[in-house]
Amino acid sequence: MTRARIAVLASGSGSNLQALIDHFRAIGASRAGDIVLVASNRTDAGALERGARAGIVTDVVVGDATLVDLLAAHRIDLVVLAGYLKLIPPDVTQRFAGRMINVHPAPLPAFGGAGMYGVHAHRAVLASGVSMSGPTVHFVDEVFDHGAIIAHWPVPVLHGDDEHTLAARVLRAEHLLFPRALQAVASGAVSLTEAGRVSAPFFQPLPAPFDPSCTDEELGARLDAALG
């Protein structure tokens, strides 16, 4: 099997990057891609440290022009945005249409768009009074948080939540959902059609909403069962 060459772009601590690295290690030879590059727009991003620790080449993106060149130099097939806070320039989104995914920590399109990242997204969810939040994985286009949705996993908003407690619960769900979505895209099980839609439902059937009282192993098994 030819594995996709994956670049992960991240601006923050890189806990999602770590989840991707760990999941690919756990599934071993059946992984559909290799993370060959971790890049950040911030020199102090924890993601760079995590990438280096895993033996992955790391780099800093200085400007939009650098990004195109960097991805070309590393012969990247698939780009993963894992907490990357810069808008991706249109030449890159076009070149990687259907080959670039992002994880957003809230339902889309309701809680997305410019400025709706991190605590801002969680605050907006809490202010709206909805009972469910949860991560959304989607293909990336030239508009923030706008591309076709691959997967969403509902995570309950609990009584007394603030943006931090909700963020922590959603992040646990992200760490379980995102690697599985990446595997599905890298293997070709899920793709973007000419019409801009996602080729196949990601879950069949839908998994139960994220249950915070379960262990990660139980929740991961639940997702795997729903993926068939």
CB of 201 to ligand GRF, least distance (A): 22
The residue among 75 and 164 lying less far from ligand GRF, judged by its C-beta, is 164
Cα of 177 vs its chain's centroid, Å? 8
Parallel, antiparallel, or unpaired for β 100-104 and 78-81?
parallel
Beta strands in the chain (DSSP E): 4-9, 33-40, 57-60, 78-81, 100-104, 132-133, 136-139, 149-152, 155-156
Rule CB under 6 A: say whether 133 interacts with ligand GRF: no
Known catalytic residues are 104
> Which range binds ligand GRF by CB under 6 A, 6-14, 92-100, 154-162, 206-214?
6-14
Give dist(CA 222, CA 228) in Å, integer.
10
What letter does residue 112 receive in the DSSP assignment?
Answer: -
State which of residues 33, 51, 98, 105 lies at the interface with ligand GRF (CB under 6 A): 105
State which of residues 24, 172, 174, 202 lies at the interface with ligand GRF (CB under 6 A): 174
Give dist(CA 188, CA 45) in Å, integer.
30
Q: What SS3 class is residue 66?
A: helix
Rule CB under 6 A: say whether 9 interacts with ligand GRF: no
| Total interface residues for ligand GRF by CB under 6 A | 13
The residue among 121 and 190 lying less far from ligand GRF, judged by its C-beta, is 121
Rule CB under 6 A: say whether 191 interacts with ligand GRF: no
The residue among 15 and 191 lying less far from ligand GRF, judged by its C-beta, is 15
CB of 17 to ligand GRF, least distance (A): 6
Give dist(CA 29, CA 207) in Å, integer.
26
Rule CB under 6 A: say whether 83 interacts with ligand GRF: yes
Q: What SS3 class is residue 84?
A: coil
Neighbours of 222 (CB within 10 A): 17
Rule CB under 6 A: say whether 171 interacts with ligand GRF: yes
> Which range binds ligand GRF by CB under 6 A, 30-38, 102-110, 151-159, 182-190?
102-110
State which of residues 103, 124, 150, 219 lies at the interface with ligand GRF (CB under 6 A): 103
Give dist(CA 77, CA 88) in Å, integer.
16
Binding site for ligand GRF (CB under 6 A): 10, 12-16, 82-83, 103-105, 171, 174
